[in-house]
Amino acid sequence: MSHISLSSLVWLFLVVFVIHDMEEIIWVGPWAKRNRQKVVAAVPASLKRSLTQMLDITSSQFAVAVLLEFIVFVPFTLIAAEQGRYFIFLAFNTLFFLHVFTHVAQSLYLKMYTPGVVTAVLIVLPYSLLLFNRLLSEKVVTCGEILLSLPVGLLVVPLVLAGHELGKRWVKS
């Protein structure tokens, strides 16, 4: 895949993100409604309350959080692709890569399909491996920088939570 420029590969992140999150947007509302009881029954008591609140989300509300993330991702993707400054982009992609395994773990734990698992495994995982391979092989980043980027990537978590809260306020179920 070295015939794809590194800049194009970086821009491809936004496409992969949208495809993955479209699967989640489409399925999260109906899935949560249909599987609420089974999911709540399967988790430890300490998680039941917060999970119950999370399962009250509609697809439209979830889309607000996705939009907020996308708006934040675009300028950092631009900076990486056009200026060669990769650290924040790397942070987002390190977290995105690890996010694959949360989808797989959820599906294995619940013994069922969970929204996002298909595109996580079939699209996000191969893209992430290709991206990291290219960044490392072209010596654009180091393994140490990938590890150092993870805590920075975790800054997306409050953004996602804020997006979910905004979605619940803006879009009534």
Helix (H), strand (E), coil (C) string for 70-129: HHHHHHHHHHHHHHCCCHHHHHHHHHHHHHHHHHHHHHHHHCCCCCCHHHHHHHHHHHHH
- In one-letter notation, the amino acid at residue 10 is V
pLDDT digits (tens, 9 = 90+) for 125-169: 999 999 999 999 999 999 999 999 999 888 888 888 888 788 888
What average pLDDT does this structure show over 85-98? 95
The reported pLDDT for the residue numbered 1 is: 54
The reported pLDDT for the residue numbered 173 is: 60
Report residue 5 CA to chain centroid gap.
24
What average pLDDT does this structure show over 60-78? 93
Average pLDDT, the chain: 92
CA distance 19 to 114: 16
CA distance 39 to 31: 10
What average pLDDT does this structure show over 46-66? 85
- Helix, strand, coil abundance in the chain, percent, nearest 5: 85, 0, 15
CA distance 118 to 124: 9
For residue 69, pLDDT over 60 is answered with yes
